[in-house]
Structure formats: structure tokens, C-alpha cells
Chain A
Amino acid sequence: MELLSGADMITHSLADQGVEYIYGYPGGAALHIYDALFRQDKVKHILVRHEQAAVHMADGYARATGKAGVVLVTSGPGATNTITGIATAFTDSIPMVVLCGQVPSTLIGEDAFQETDMMGVSRPVVKHNMAIKHPSEIPETIKKAFYIAESGRPGPVVIDIPKDMTAPNERFEYSYPKKVKLRSYSPPTRGHSGQIRKAAEMLLNAKRPVIYAGGGVIIGGGTQQLTDLVKRLNYPVTCTLMGLGAYPGTGEHSLGMLGMHGSYEANQAMHHSDLVVSIGARFDDRVTNGTDKFCPGARIVHVDIDPANISKTIKVDVPIVGPVDSVLTDLHAALDELAGTPDQEALSAWWEKIDGWRAFHGGRYDASTQDSIKPQHVIETLHKVTKGDAFVTSDVGQHQMFAAQYYKFNKPNRWINSGGLGTMGFGLPAAMGIKLTHPDEEVVCVTGEGSIQMNIQELSTCKQYDLPLKVLLLNNQALGMVKQWQDMNYESRHSHSYMDSLPDFTKLVESYGHVGMTVNKLDELESTLEKAFAMKDKLVFINVYVDPLEHVYPMQIAKGSMNDMWLNKTERT
């Protein structure tokens, strides 16, 4: 067996785990590990400009590939700077392993330089965290971290590594375990067959069914089974913000997104349904609106890998705890066995109703204006120029909702946003993580001028590693979503929602060595985007001045039912 230092064990373990890229930032407590990185070439390290961005890069990679992203940072501020990124991944169930340097074990608890209790600080926002107590534990701990991060309901795992655990002169036997088993952790592998059968019967007996699909369908690899289910039953499907792409957005059964800024038809259908089948979604408050008024006539089936999600906010009738892919496979088998067909008469009446809601175009933007650029139109143009096939990341705010509503995602893992935590500054580094590992794909970050400035320093990282992604800035010269809420709820008192003294973005990105473009006029929009996306080997930052008065609609009315919505500034349901 090989004798290795703790630091070399880390790089060997990562290589043996099949990790190609890690994202990080060096510092005192991590320097033994950085030296080990220097002396090998299997694991490539990407140096970011701020640790938060390293975590979002790992996150973007994880969301696009389904594999855990890996981060390496030093102790103290290096570690605490990762917290927002870790919490982002935790809320959206994204697999991730974060290696944090720590002061030597002999100094822990003595308020040493760059000492922070990272185990304590990270505890509420991780799936698990572990501290290394002896260098020989490193391979098994890393294997455990990947196993925990990627299995069950995925999530981030932090490993706290005191500097003396990686000392170059202390060597121990190294072998990377093929498998680990934890007696206290066994994620579910199959759903309960009786419950699945019950769900199948309810599906066949429903008269006004809706399938409500969440991010779990994408994470759980169940998109094909979901698509097959929707098609075999001819049932409508709506996706959550996290679930966009789980069923093709341009598919005929798609009602689009549901919830606070969901489509008129999706929210109407949910409200009037007699059966809601939730798959890999968690009845988030941004979906349900007032929980006491949620889908009053519906029985509810809930498929989720996390039993704690069952009946957490909404009481469900038939819970099925298990991985989405296996549950859906079993559900298809149960439907085969029952060999029934839904009530076709009821179903066509239901579709007729839905088509009526669709035809109403509730909450859609006014596409007729020529004197300003509507942000929704920018997203539709982006969809056209990228043929609907790009990886789209976003930050948080109006631009995020416009992108979710108007870029019809037909494939899973293409829509990458901080859905649960709502982290501004997520989009650019997430796009970098994707572009790095998908160099031949179009990767575009849709952002706002508030969000982009939260991690704009990463344009420098993009230059260093030659990441020719695209940034599409919907510039409304304000913190648009905050301003919208102030317009609607605070009599337009725009308290601190304006970004005065915005930089000249074109000059700024040029100074980082990239290409900047500005769009002021509607008739320049498409041609500019065409030009930008034709520049395959350049990062192009497109600053589009959009209508600053535009709001995101529909918008659910707080505490109401699913279908209580503002449709525009003056009309509501």
C-alpha cells in the first residue's frame, strides 16, 4: 500500500473518485493541500476571485451533470465565504463536497488566526459535515462525503480539515474505499407498492387531474418516465421553478410553470383539479399560496424521496416515499397491470377548460409596444437565437422570472437557478461551472444589474480559464423585483431599490478582456444577440436596456388560493 501525507490523500481520493475539476481559493490552512494539487495533474483546480463563486461554480456543474461539485477553501473567512453558496445548494438539494482548511487541531478553540468553527457555522445548511481527526481517516471520510452528497435527497457535505492533518512529513497507508456503508443512513430505494397501486387507481379515476413536477424529477433522473406518464394518460403537467425542463416546455401537455409567477392556466388548472400528483416537489410557499385554500377539490398524491417533505405544508392523501425514477417505473407497471383507461369524456371536458384558460392569455405581456424593449421579449429572442437549447443560468429577481416563464425549456438540467434560497450573484459563477465542462454548448447567464454586481469579479476568472459564455443583462436600472413589490404593496415608495451610479458595463467587461455590447433599440435586439452568439470563442456581455416599468405577471395575491392572481397592473382574477 502507498504511504501518503494527508494532503496527498486528498488529491488521490478526489482523483480516485473521478473528480476532474475543483473550484477554490488558497490560504494558510489549506496550503499543504494546494502544494499537493501542484504536484499532480489529475484534478484540475479553478482559481476563483471570491469563495462564494467557487461554490456556485461547483453548484452549476452539479446541476448540469448530476454529479457532486467539489470546492476547496481555507479556514476562517475562506470557509465563511462559502456559506451562501452551501445554503443555496442545500435548499435546492444539490450534491456538493466542500473541503475547508482549518487551523491546526492543537490551536482549535484558542481563537487562532483565521479560526472559525466551520462545523458549527455550516451545520444548519449542510446535509452533513465531518471533521478530520486523524490523517488516515481522510480517504474514507471523502468517500462518505460523496456518498452522502449524491445519494437520497442530495445536498452539500462539508469536511473540516485541520492543517496538521495534511502535514507533508506524516505519511500513512492510503487506499480509497470502493464503497462505504453507514448504519445510520439508508436512503429509500423503492416506493411502497401498495401506495403506488393506489396512486395508479386514483390516476385512472381522476376527472380533472394535474401532474405537478418539481426539481426532484430532474435530480432523480425521472424525466423520461414522467414524459411517458403524461403522454400515456394524456394529462396536463405543470413544472415548478426547479422542475422546468422535467417535461418539455413546448410540449402539448405543458401548462408551464405554476405558483407565484406561474402561468394563468397552470394556476387555474391546479385550483380546479380533482387530483394533484406531485412528483419530486415540496409544496413550497411560492407554489401553494395560502395553504388553507390550496386546491380545495383535489386529492393529493405526493412522490418524494424525503419523508420529511410529506405533509409538511399540505396534508396529502397518498404519500409515496422513494426515488422518483423507480417510483415512476413502478407506477407505469401498476398502470399496465390495472389496464384501465381514464374517463375520456371527463378528460376532454377538462382539456377544453384548460384550452379556454390558455386562450385567455392571462398575465402575458403587451408585445405590441415598439418604443421600449420588453424584458419578456428579450427572453423570447434569446430562445429564438439559441434555438431553445442553451444552458440558461439566472440570478434572482424579475429577470429570473421572465427567463423561467418565456424560455421554454425542453430538456432537463438546462435551467439553472437558485430557486429555493434566491441567491443573487449565483448566475455568473454557475454558468462558468457549466461552460467549463460543456465547452461546446451555449451557456448564457440571464441577469440583472443588481445581481451581476454581486459576483462580477468572476469575469476575471472567465478570462483566466477562457470561458466564452454569454451574459445577458436585462438592465431596468433598478432592483426590479423589489421595486415591483414596492409599487404593489408600498404605494411606490422605492426605498433603496434604485442602483444609482451603475458602471458602464461595456467598458467594465472590456477591461476584463471580454466583449461588451449594448442594446437600446428594439430593432437591434435580435441582430445583436445573433452577433454575440456567433462569437463562439468570446465571452460576450450584452447589456439590454429594458422597459423599467415592467412587472412580472401573473402574480398570485398573497394568502389567496392558487388562482387568485394579478394579471397586470390593474386587472386581477
Chain B
Amino acid sequence: MRRIISVLLENEPGALSRVVGLFSQRNYNIETLTVAPTDDESLSRLTVTTTGSDKVIEQITKQLNKLIEVVKLVDLTEGSHIERELMLVKVKAVGSQRGEVSRTVDIFRGQIVDVNSTVYTVQVTGDSRKLDAFIKALPEGIVLEVVRSGVSGIARGEKVLSL
């Protein structure tokens, strides 16, 4: 099953490599990975999406917790949560395609963030499935480049992951 694990990590050199190293060392799978400092600059927030049986996910969270630089972590998929990913897509946009792409962008509540005579660059945010759906909805053969940020997530309601 797909899981979103969110980690508060000491913002120190080498901490990220320890997390990534753990995944490869123990043969766990990383689908997406995002990491950035938080409002408390001594901490980074790292979000990893992974798949595995319940037993594997349990091991992943326990092994992550053993890393000295991991302060706290939560498996967001255990509760209700918000998941967001940002995607930038560069598409060919000439002639009638310009209108079609623009309509599709509107439907997905995206934005065209850069334009020239032959190309649109589109920004779409949402959960990963929405971004997949957007790509599928575009006319075939016009996608030139796709950049996805990887998943970030946060729990719904009052639940917070902080010190």
C-alpha cells in the first residue's frame, strides 16, 4: 500500500543522506521525496512516499526513528490528511491546441505561468492522482517536459507534527 511518511529531521549536513541511505540499505522503495527547512530553521521537514506491506512500513518507520537525527515522524496515511504535489508541464501550443490546452488547464484549476508563440508552461497542484489525470487529459503528443515536486503532506484538523 502507498504511504506518505512525514519526518522532522535535524537540519544538519548528512542527515538527508542517512535517510536515503537507510532506504537503499534495507531495500525499501522511495517513490517521491521532498525536503526543505521549516519555520524553525534547525529543522527540516522531509516527506517520503513509499509502498510496502504493513510489516515493511512498520519497519521503515521504526528504522527511521532509530536515526539519531530524526526528531519525529508520522505516517500521514494513517489518518485523514491533505496531500499536495506541484507540477510544471511544458507543452507544445500552436493553433487550435492553444485553446484546448488553456481549457484543460482551467478545468484542473492550473495556471499558465509562461507563454511564447509555440509553448505554454503550465503549473498544476493537487494530489498525485490529479496530476496524473491532467497529463492524461492533454492532447496526445504535445508534452515536452514534466517536472514534479514530489508529495508534501499535512494532517487534517488539529493534529500537528512539531517539537
Q: A interface vs B, CB < 8 Å?
A: 119-120, 123-124, 127-129, 131, 148, 182-185, 306-308, 310-312
Contact of B68 among A131, A184, A306, A307 (CB under 8 A): A184
Instruction: Give, as a whole number of angstroms, the nearest-CB distance from B114 to chain A.
Output: 36
Identify 27 residue pairs between A and B in the complex whose beta-carbon atoms are under 8 Å apart, listed by A's number: A119-B14, A120-B17, A123-B14, A123-B17, A124-B25, A127-B68, A131-B13, A131-B14, A148-B68, A182-B68, A183-B71, A183-B163, A184-B10, A184-B68, A184-B69, A184-B71, A185-B68, A306-B66, A307-B62, A307-B65, A308-B59, A308-B62, A308-B63, A308-B66, A311-B55, A311-B58, A312-B59
The main secondary structure of chain A at its interface with chain B is: mixed
Closest 8 CB pairs of A and B: A308-B62, A184-B71, A128-B68, A124-B25, A185-B68, A307-B62, A308-B63, A123-B21
- B57 to nearest A CB, angstroms? 12
Kindly state the separation between the CA atoms of A307 and B60 in the bound complex, as whole angstroms: 12
Contact yes or no, A124 B21, CB < 8 A: yes
Q: Residue B18 at the A interface, CB < 8 A?
A: yes
Interface size of B by CB at 8 A reads 19
CA distance A310 to B68 in the complex (A): 19
Q: Is B154 an interface residue (CB 8 A)?
A: no
| Distance of A123 Cα from B58 Cα, bound (Å) | 22
Interface residues of B in 54-80 (CB under 8 A from A): 55, 58-59, 62-63, 65-66, 68-71
| Cβ-closest chain A residue relative to B12 | A130
Other contacts beyond A184-B70, A308-B59: 13, CB < 8 A:
A119-B14, A120-B17, A127-B68, A128-B68, A131-B13, A148-B68, A182-B68, A184-B71, A185-B68, A306-B66, A310-B62, A311-B55, A312-B59
Closest to A185 in B: B68
Cβ–Cβ < 8 Å partners of A185 in chain B: 68
Separation in Å of the B124 CB from the closest CB of chain A? Answer: 36
A119 to B65, CA, bound (A): 20
Kindly report which residue of chain B lies nearest to residue A308, judged by CB atoms.
Answer: B62
Nearest CB to that of A160 among chain B residues?
B14
Residues of A within 8 A of B69 (CB): 184
Q: How far is the CB of A315 from chain B (nearest CB, A)?
A: 8
For B58, the chain A residues whose CB sits under 8 A away are 311
Please give, as numbers and ranges, the residues of chain A lying within 8 Å of B163 by CB-CB distance: 183
**Shortest distance in angstroms between A450's beta carbon and chain B's nearest beta carbon?**
29
- Cα of A467 to Cα of B14 in the assembled complex, Å: 41
Residue of B nearest to A152 (CB): B66
Q: How far is the CB of B63 from chain A (nearest CB, A)?
A: 5
Contacts of A123 on B, CB cut-off 8 Å? Answer: 14, 17-18, 21
Query: A531 CA to B69 CA in the complex, in Å?
Result: 54
Give the complex CA separation of A5 and B26 in angstroms: 41
CB distance from B76 to the nearest CB of A (A): 20
Q: Which residues of A contact B18 (CB under 8 A)?
A: 123
Q: Bound state CA distance, A312 and B18, in angstroms?
A: 21
B13: chain A residues at CB < 8 Å are 131
Q: Which residues of chain B from 7 to 46 have any CB-CB distance to chain A below 8 Å in the complex?
A: 10, 13-14, 17-18, 21, 25
Give the residues from 141 to 163 in chain B that come closer than 8 angstroms, CB to CB, to chain A: 163
Q: Which residues on B sit within 8 Å (CB–CB) of A119?
A: 14
Mark B77-94 against chain A: 1 for CB-CB distance below 8 A, else 0.
Answer: 000000000000000000
